[in-house]
């Protein structure tokens, strides 16, 4: 409420900025909550906590004395600090999720697991608390946990094969996360009902159905001799006026027009490539994990959430998996055929941040009064504004 009152008029904003002069290098105003923006609540709380002394000074002005009961008490600041500690890890993950300069799809399942671990820890800490605000916070975290479960239950071989495939193609983790799930539930990873075995078989089946099948059917052009014989038969049938060929027979099956009859089930070259691809996938699953030279990862458990989130996201989870797969393709290793699968999968981004950023940029380029600008002109203006 105080943020709204401070920023209500230009005069109040100037007075609040004057309270910060000679005390900080850059004077700022309180933030507002934007429901459609990630981390908006956390940024509002952090800004309010940082400006609390200047807000108190601004309220000392006699004409704002009737706003003083709205100022946050010391107990309320304690609650604010606790809430910020709960929300900071989510900013850590969302800033990483917004990255567009590297591959991130293969870390989605890992981020899901980290978010669950964080919320489980918060709920354990608050489970036996009787203070009202702690009970309210426990209820809020529980609702978030249930919402996350709704999304996570879609990560199955039936509906979440894209995320599973991307996770397995991470050479530095592969099936390790699924083995942890089996270990946590005291399940032998080798049995058919384990997560490891199910997702491993689903990965092989996906590679076979989506990639190997492309090399198993190839249209075959018949020889000239066969075509001449067919033409001769057609001419003889036409002359005798007893032709059985009906080009537009409505009673015929549509499959003969969709899939031609002169298709070979397999050809030597393509059959070998399909077999090599499936063999490479099996060898990849049975091979040991690759050990990176330098992870470069900031440990979230070491209080790194207080660091600059942009700096955190810039060094998040190295090395880049694309370098390893590119090396396999260039050196023609045993996984060279499988690198095409990795290229197709990792080219998918797990978010729409790029589209949203371009959409937001459009308002800076075109004003409300420009109603006759065509879509092509607007695209050109956005490109020139962003990349010129």
Say what the pTM is: 0.67
Q: What is the pLDDT of residue 257?
A: 40
Q: How confident is the model at residue 300 (pLDDT cuts 50, 70, 90)?
A: very low
Measured between its terminal Cα atoms, the distance across the chain in Å is 41
**pLDDT tens digits along 259-287:** 444 444 545 555 677 788 888 888 888 88
pLDDT of amino acid 280: 87
Assess contact for 211 and 277: CB atoms under 8 A. yes
């Amino acid at each position: 409420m105080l943020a709204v009152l401070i920023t209500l008029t230009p005069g109040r904003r100037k007075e609040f900025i004057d309270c910060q002069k000679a005390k900080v290098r850059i004077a700022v105003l309180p933030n507002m909550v934007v429901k459609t923006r990630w981390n908006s609540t956390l940024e509002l709380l952090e800004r309010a906590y940082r400006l609390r002394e200047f807000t108190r000074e601004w309220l000392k002005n006699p004409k704002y004395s009737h706003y003083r009961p709205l100022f946050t008490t010391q107990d309320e600041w304690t609650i604010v600090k606790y809430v910020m500690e709960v929300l900071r890890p989510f900013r850590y993950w969302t800033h990483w999720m917004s990255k567009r300069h590297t591959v991130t799809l293969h870390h989605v399942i890992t981020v899901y697991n980290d978010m669950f671990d964080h919320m489980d820890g918060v709920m354990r800490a608050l489970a036996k608390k009787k203070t009202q605000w702690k009970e309210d916070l426990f209820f809020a975290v529980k609702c978030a946990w249930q919402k996350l479960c709704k999304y996570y239950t879609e990560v199955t071989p039936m509906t979440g094969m894209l995320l599973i495939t991307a996770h397995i193609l991470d050479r530095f983790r592969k099936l390790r996360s699924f083995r942890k799930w089996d270990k946590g539930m005291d399940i032998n990873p080798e049995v058919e009902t384990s997560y490891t075995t199910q997702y491993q078989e689903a990965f092989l089946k996906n590679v076979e159905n989506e990639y190997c099948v492309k090399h198993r059917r190839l249209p075959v052009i018949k020889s000239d001799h066969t075509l001449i014989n067919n033409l001769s038969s057609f001419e003889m049938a036409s002359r005798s006026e007893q032709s059985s060929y009906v080009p537009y027979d409505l009673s015929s099956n549509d499959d003969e027009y969709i899939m031609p009859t002169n298709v070979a089930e397999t050809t030597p070259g393509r059959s070998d490539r399909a077999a090599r691809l499936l063999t490479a996938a099996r060898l990849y699953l049975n091979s040991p994990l690759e050990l990176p030279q330098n992870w470069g990862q900031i440990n979230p458990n070491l209080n790194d959430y207080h660091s600059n989130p942009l700096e955190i996201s810039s060094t998040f989870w190295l090395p880049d998996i694309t370098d390893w797969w590119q090396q396999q393709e260039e050196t023609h290793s045993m996984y060279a055929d499988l690198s095409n699968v990795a290229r197709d999968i990792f080219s998918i981004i797990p978010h729409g941040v790029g589209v949203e950023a371009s959409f937001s940029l459009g308002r800076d380029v075109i004003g409300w009064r420009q109603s006759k600008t065509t879509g092509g002109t607007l695209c050109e203006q956005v490109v020139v504004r962003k990349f010129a």
